[in-house]
Amino acid sequence: MKCIKCRGQAIIELRRHNAAFCASDFLDFFRNQVREAIRKYRMLTPHEPVMVAVSGGKDSLALWDVLIDQGYDTTGLYLDLGIFEYSVESRARCEKFASARGVPLVISRVADEVGAPVPVIKQVTRRPPCSGCGLSKRYLINRVALEHGIPVVATGHNLDDEAATLFGSVMHWQTDALPRQSPALPSTHPRLVRRVKPLYRLSEHETAAFAFLRKIDYIVEECPFAKGATSISHKEMLNRMEEASPGAKHNFLFGFLEKGRPAFERTERVALNECARCGQVTSGTVCAFCKLADQVKRAV
């Protein structure tokens, strides 16, 4: 197998692109895909600071690596979810990455903000752990970026993540969620930062290869609560389709962005208020995060 660029020995084959690359040309390909994502959706501008939400995993650290490399003014944000050894390990990977590159890393502890770590939130709310965790992450990412005066947050969601989320939304025809599924969400309120996903064109396999080649020390383990998550079974389903027909995932996501999503874009916007408690954006009076924090603080 030869690299389609330099005809040297290829180290990775990308069936959906009908391509193979040597290490150096694969790194170029990867960075070009990120550049193309940023360009196509006008995700970032060169002199604007960007916050990179990092989990310690391959995707978000690969993203941070590329953005630093391309000269963006980045600040990492690590949310400590307090999930036992998993959180200890993943935090260490982020700190190591940031200090090796001399870039700032902000750390925010869910336990400080909500009143308890994710495993306790799970018990108090008696809901699946991903529910309170996801809510807290979305809220804190936005608030911390605002507090640092950073207008945009980049996350490491890749093609597989986005296709799996879309698959779930489509299987249930969640017409509220569908118009919000996009590689770039604009700010619709002064207290909402923009959110962008510069890796949406790259598969999980590709981010893993990039992280490996760039010698990024990332946490390989999945979150211990992720086992049995429907997103994982959706990924398996999509992987099976990809196996039978390379490009199936790509076509599903990109076809949606081109042809499906426009059909679901709503003209009317949901009215946004500021939470009576914390001042962050909510569609009600008190935001879901403050309600969660109340519930947790009452219980612990």
Q: CB of 128: closest distance to a second copy in angstroms?
A: 14
- Residue 268 interacts with a second copy (CB under 8 A): yes or no: no
Q: Are 72 and 46 in contact (CB under 8 A)?
A: yes
Q: CB of 16: closest distance to a second copy in angstroms?
A: 14
| Paired tokens of 58 | 């391959």
- Residue 263 interacts with a second copy (CB under 8 A): yes or no: yes
- 195, amino acid identity: R
Kindly identify the residues of this chain, within the stretch 146-185, that bind a second copy according to CB under 8 A: 170-173, 175
Kindly identify the residues of this chain, within the stretch 221-260, that bind a second copy according to CB under 8 A: 233, 237, 240-241, 244, 248, 251-252, 255-256, 258-260
- 2, amino acid identity: K
If we measure between CA atoms, which residue out of 84, 76, 69 comes closest to residue 34? 69
Q: CB of 174: closest distance to a second copy in angstroms?
A: 8
Closer by beta carbon to a second copy, 86 or else 252: 252
Kindly identify the residues of this chain, within the stretch 98-117, that bind a second copy according to CB under 8 A: none
DSSP symbols for 85-138: HHHHHHHHHHHHHHHHHT--EEEEEHHHHHSS-HHHHHHHHTS-HHHHHHHHHH
Closer by beta carbon to a second copy, 30 or else 256: 256
Q: CB of 69: closest distance to a second copy in angstroms?
A: 34
Residues in contact with a second copy, total (CB under 8 A)?
Answer: 20
Closer by beta carbon to a second copy, 39 or else 240: 240
CA dist., res. 295 & res. 298, Å (int) = 5
Q: CB of 260: closest distance to a second copy in angstroms?
A: 5
- Residue 24 interacts with a second copy (CB under 8 A): yes or no: no
Closer by beta carbon to a second copy, 170 or else 278: 170
Closer by beta carbon to a second copy, 65 or else 160: 160
Q: CB of 170: closest distance to a second copy in angstroms?
A: 6
Closer by beta carbon to a second copy, 212 or else 264: 264
Measured in degrees and rounded to the nearest 5, phi and psi for residue 184 equal -145, 120
Q: CB of 185: closest distance to a second copy in angstroms?
A: 20
Q: CB of 263: closest distance to a second copy in angstroms?
A: 4
CA dist., res. 219 & res. 81, Å (int) = 15
Closer by beta carbon to a second copy, 237 or else 286: 237
Contact footprint for a second copy (CB under 8 A): 170-173, 175, 233, 237, 240-241, 244, 248, 251-252, 255-256, 258-260, 263-264
